[in-house]
Amino acid sequence: MSRKAILFDLDGTLTDSGEGIINCAILALEHFGLPIPSREDLRVFVGPPLRDSFINHGVPADKAEEAIAVYRSRYIPIGKFENTPYPGIRELLDTLQKEGHKLYIATSKPEGMSKDILEHFGLAQYFTLICGATMDASRSTKEDVIAYLLEASGERENMIMVGDTKFDILGAKHHGIPAIGVSWGYGAVADMVEAGAAAIAHSAEELLQLLRK
């Protein structure tokens, strides 16, 4: 078994962050008097950059930063902890680390918030680097975050991405990195397959076996 550098998405892959993200998205949409979709429909806020999601839900482009500020007024103190690790994730990370793989976080969530969440759940210890977006959106897409991670880590060989949306698959593909999709998150399996996912895992145990190949 070769040792890999494994890049993990955070929201929808390691932790189920939907409750906090959706609660804060509702607050921001209410701020603008916009229609509030069902909580099921608001699941699309989990994963992609917030700016894009707010614009897609009727916030004028020139007001997107205001929407993000309203969102973060609740998310930073409360929403980021309305969150829980998925079953088997802690055991997965522990096993991979003991087997000698290097583990990284590549998320479009702001880096500081990502570190807070991972530390809160006792997961930060498993990662060599935690790489995320910047608060000013100068680094926001998955492609941007992975580019930043590659430069910071010096890693180039035997890498693989794990994520729950097509954005994870496409972001990795942009850098020539294969990706495994997970079905328990917030993206559609069909979209990940279409984007070029090398495989789809349906449990942490299945993901472990795929990563060992």
Q: Which are the catalytic amino acids? A: 9
Which string of DSSP letters, residue by residue, matches the chain? Answer: ----EEEE--BTTTEE-HHHHHHHHHHHHHHTT-----TTGGGGGSSS-HHHHHHHTT--GGGHHHHHHHHHHHHTTTGGGS-EEPTTHHHHHHHHHHTT-EEEEEEEEEHHHHHHHHHHTT-GGG-SEEEEE-TTSSS-SHHHHHHHHHHHH---SSEEEEESSHHHHHHHHHTT--EEEETTSSS-HHHHHHHT-SEEESSHHHHHHHHH-
Q: Judge whether 186 and 203 are in contact, CB under 8 Å.
A: no
Token duo for residue 213: 């190949």
Q: Judge whether 17 and 41 are in contact, CB under 8 Å.
A: no
Token duo for residue 211: 């990563």
